[in-house]
Chain A
């Protein structure tokens, strides 16, 4: 046991001190945190500066139709021709210039916007929405329907579906399908990448030891199995350390980021600006307040749904499936590494190993849409694909018995495969000068020690 520990230690120390390890370990959390906080950050970003849009209405029909909002001010220009304003756009300080011209179709003028930069999406939406509504209203009026306003108000409907997950104990939690999908996608894909990358690193390590001929020296003091296990566990320790650093750093960074954003969201509402506006136009202020509240609640509900994900289960599940999924694949990669003499010989041998992983990624894409479908279910139980697919299902909630079955099968398969791989490894590591096939390698399993 002491020997395995020495080998684990060597593997661990040499890997951890590599520059590539340090860089990927420290930089990835910044990337993950960015993914986690970007949506709520963008939601909070919406507006920060007041932009004044000049409007020159050559039709004279849309004067004072477009209302100003908190961050978009509308200035109607009646005394200056559009050409002049356009020429002096940068000096006047206007964000954009909207020109309304008549066309041959009544009630359908031509709108043109001039600006120095591409106009922001919220400005465009505001202008388009109000103008569209105004024109629609005018068109409706031409039909001379009595009580039109009342009918329209009566017809207006708004639907918002709030998604609440009810657990078996009857506990209710606000959920968000999009967030679950995002987490499922990120976790499955990371699992796929990490198993593939670390498995390949194990294989390269084995090939390196074999071509270095350092194997012969080491297996004169330890058993080939100890050597293989030491390498695999050493690499596992490296990856677990990496995941741990990632989880802690991402949580810290994302937590800090989300706190800043949510304090920004809660601090913003209807204070001075709305009050100031309330004095000018009470009705307007009310609309404004509602809009702000709606935007804030959108940002908050994203955070609540994120917080309502069962992170201990997700992280625990990720670590468990990574550990055993990695061990399962690493043993197979080590067996391949032992049979060849250079990395170029590995391609046809690694294909059968990577195939289940690639299949898992394909299943993941459909599984993410129906996490409880038959396809996702079976692939989350089959040990070779379960590390990826179970993580796809986990954010949506998985019954405990399915988790237990999948985990048991995975551990059992890992033990069986490692036992077989060790037999191949033991023979392969001392064989030189031939090209090997899986058929040949499977024959080695029956060789006696």
Chain B
């Protein structure tokens, strides 16, 4: 079951096509990574989901039906470019933003009290935002985003401006929210955190969705069929066996243990490789080498741009 689906979204600004036929499906309870180079159209897509602007074409389904204006109360959004009223007191401001998200004043107060205690920031209630550090303000912002317990959370670069301790705090908070069943769309350039947190990803490049899927599948698919073989024995006998049907990328020997990286060629699979190798050497370990999201990102974007004769940016 998908909580959110976009179907063929098109958005045009003046002469610039911001989104071109973008479709994606966000499964309920997942963390969904929205990736792409700067200017690819991620923010526009997020704004459309938040009903800040409307699409020129296409449809958005929320909870299986056409998205309603009131669905906005079921969404929490932490924009990349964020800020608060500098001269306003923290507590008052949090209360104001929470009420804008449809909470009653009493409810908002109760929940804010819980979050202020959880983040240990009770002392900030009467401070003005301008008296807080950037990281402290970010904490307030994160709190305000999740205060109305939305079913869908959209985080745009949630870790920017946090120190490592607070990054961990926010990560734990995101995982906690996921555990409670919240669906999270997560837009970032930090590929390590994508690998760490996301279940699904979509890669948007030049206004189009060029790659979608479960993160494990994506990484498998872009595994480029490279395997690492750890073995004991003569590296030369392995070399002989591999030649022709496979491609030997590198081979290192340390003490009696050698490690070789082998790429499969067409019409061969891991079993073929093993059949060749087992008679020749003693295999200690055999692992597929899974590319990092970082590598996949660069590879996919570059391939796409080359194929379409676009400049690599």
Contact = CB atoms under 8 A, between A and B. Distances in A.
A443 B14 CA distance: 9
B52 A212 contact: no
B54 A217 contact: no
A254 to B, nearest CB: 36
Interface stretch (B81-89, B217-225, B264-272, B299-307): B81-89
A78 B183 CA distance: 111
A158 interface: no
Interface stretch (B26-34, B58-66, B92-100, B185-193): B92-100
B79 A220 contact: yes
B101 interface: yes
A219 B50 CA distance: 9
A214 B83 contact: yes
Contacts of B99: 6
Contacts of B56: 448
Nearest to A227: B100
Contact of A449 (B14, B54, B81, B82): B54
A173 interface: no
B100 A6 contact: yes
Of A213, A216, A219, most B-chain CB atoms within 10 Å: A216
A45 interface: no
A448 B100 contact: no
B77 interface: yes
A430 interface: yes
A291 interface: no
A212 B86 CA distance: 8
Contacts of B209: none
Nearest to A432: B81
Contacts of B88: 10, 14
Interface string B30-55: 00000000000000000100101110
A7 B52 CA distance: 17
A212 B77 contact: no
B177 interface: no
Contacts of A10: 88, 96
B79 A213 contact: yes
Interface string A207-250: 01101111011111110100000000000000000000000000
Interface in A178-232: 208-209, 211-214, 216-222, 224
A161 B123 CA distance: 74
Interface in A1-26: 3, 6-7, 10, 14
Given A6-B100, A213-B79, A220 B72 contact: yes
A347 B12 CA distance: 31
B201 interface: no
B143 interface: no
B84 A214 contact: yes
Contact of A220 (B50, B81, B83): B50
B50 A217 contact: no
A222 B96 CA distance: 12
B144 interface: yes
Given A217-B97, A221-B101, A449 B141 contact: no
A214 B77 contact: no
6 contacts: A14-B88, A214-B83, A217-B83, A220-B52, A221-B102, A432-B81
Given A14-B85, A216-B81, A217-B82, 16 more contacts: A6-B96, A6-B99, A7-B100, A212-B83, A213-B82, A213-B83, A214-B83, A214-B84, A214-B85, A218-B97, A220-B50, A221-B73, A221-B97, A221-B100, A448-B56, A449-B54
Which 7 residue pairs are nearest across A and B when measured between Cβ atoms?
A: A213-B83, A212-B83, A216-B79, A220-B77, A221-B100, A213-B81, A220-B50
